[in-house]
Amino acid sequence: MPRTYRLGATLALVGAVVLTAVLATRASHGHAPGVPSVRSGQVESERFDWSQPPFADSAAVNGLSVAAGRVAFKPRAADVLGKLAGVYVHRSIASRAEQMLGLVYDHPSYGRYFLVEGPTDGTTAGLAAWADQCKPETGCQGTWSMIDLTPSVKGLLVAGPVSNGVVWIVRGVAYDLYGPTASLTMRAATELAAAVASA
């Protein structure tokens, strides 16, 4: 079974005890920082280093044009995202059908944030189910809500103590834009995600 992108690091960073089994799958893709442990379901947010590449096994790629040849989907970007400071793929994944992109941006107003793109077997309906189920009483931190990014694309906005971000899915590709709560506000995350979804 292909190792597809199941959930965004946004979800992992915000954390939810009830999601540990699925997030464990997410962690196996190399996004160790901020991912809850299967044992405790707690997020080790204090260890997350935003200066590091988005993947634990990151391999730098020389620009988006080169990265496009490493994946089975067309990478999305937009001029408003800021300066592209790094492009990464998983060193441990050789298959184009399974490979993901980790894009690091430096924005003049919103600081550093990540945009991760990769194949998924998930659906927008699945994201909506997360939004419905994730509440403080079910063990979820922060707020989880569905938002309109374009007239035809909905995303899951997750706002938490460590990161704010948006996860959305378009034609079998998941997009996960997330950054530190201190610099990337919910409004900023929504604005940037909408720009990518419209690109």
Segment holding 71, helix H or strand E: none
- Backbone torsion region of residue 191, taken as left when φ is above 0, otherwise alpha when ψ lies between -120 and 50, otherwise beta: alpha
> Residue 68, Cα to own-chain centre: how many angstroms?
18
Q: Look at residue 41 and tell me whether its pLDDT is greater than 90.
A: no
Task: Give 1: exposed, middle or buried? Use CB within 10 Å, 0-12, 13-18, 19+.
Answer: exposed
Stretch 85-110: mean pLDDT: 94
Tell me which of 8-12, 29-33, 90-94, 189-193 is least confident: 29-33
pLDDT value of residue 52: 83
Q: Look at residue 196 and tell me whether its pLDDT is greater than 50.
A: yes
How far is the CA of 3 from the CAs of 50, 92, 99, 119, 167, in angstroms? Answer: 25, 11, 9, 9, 18
Tell me which of 4-8, 19-23, 95-99, 175-179 is least confident: 19-23
More confident residue, 114 or 4: 114
Please tell me whether the overall predicted TM-score, pTM, comes out greater than 0.85 for this model.
no
Stretch 121-127: mean pLDDT: 90
Share of the chain above pLDDT 90, in %: 55
Confidence band, pLDDT 50/70/90 cuts, at residue 23: very low
Partners of 155 in beta bridges: 147, 168
pLDDT value of residue 51: 83
Residue type present at position 88: Y
More confident residue, 152 or 122: 152
Nearest to 9 by CA among 196, 146, 177: 177
